[in-house]
Amino acid sequence: MARDDFYASAFGSFYSAYMRRPWLARRISQLVWGGDLGPYYDRMAAIAEIDTGRTIVDCPCGAGVAFSLFSPPPDVRYVAVDLSPSMLARVRARGASARPTRH
């Protein structure tokens, strides 16, 4: 684990797992921070509606919620950006298993 990559820790794995489960993330957010993640997931759902030929820049991509839960149409380019190398690795792994790599 890189010293400066907090999300390479066990917390990062936990965070990644619960953020991909909106029902769980909403409850955790409400209990821990008193927040409401409903608007976050509602806005992410719009990704499935993006017109073909567009590009989505997901920054910070974090656990890859935008890509894994609300997959963009096949002709939409998805670009993930994050300061955490471990989060980028998670999104790359999900992307590689979701659709073929384009060059």
Residue 18 in any domain: the answer is yes
Structural domains counted in the chain: 1
- pLDDT score, position 101: 45
Percent of the residues in the chain that have a pLDDT greater than 90, as a whole number: 27
Residue 103 in any domain: the answer is no
Domain span at 84: 7-98
Residue 2 in any domain: the answer is no
Residue 1 in any domain: the answer is no
User: How many angstroms separate the Cα of 89 from the Cα of each of 64, 93, 94?
Assistant: 10, 6, 9
pLDDT band at 3 (very low <50, low <70, confident <90, very high): low
- DSSP annotation string for 66-78: HHHHSPPPTTSEE
Residue 77 in any domain: the answer is yes
Residue 74 in any domain: the answer is yes
Q: What is the pLDDT of residues 44-88, one digit of tens each?
A: 888 888 888 999 898 998 888 887 787 777 888 889 999 999 999
Residue 37 in any domain: the answer is yes
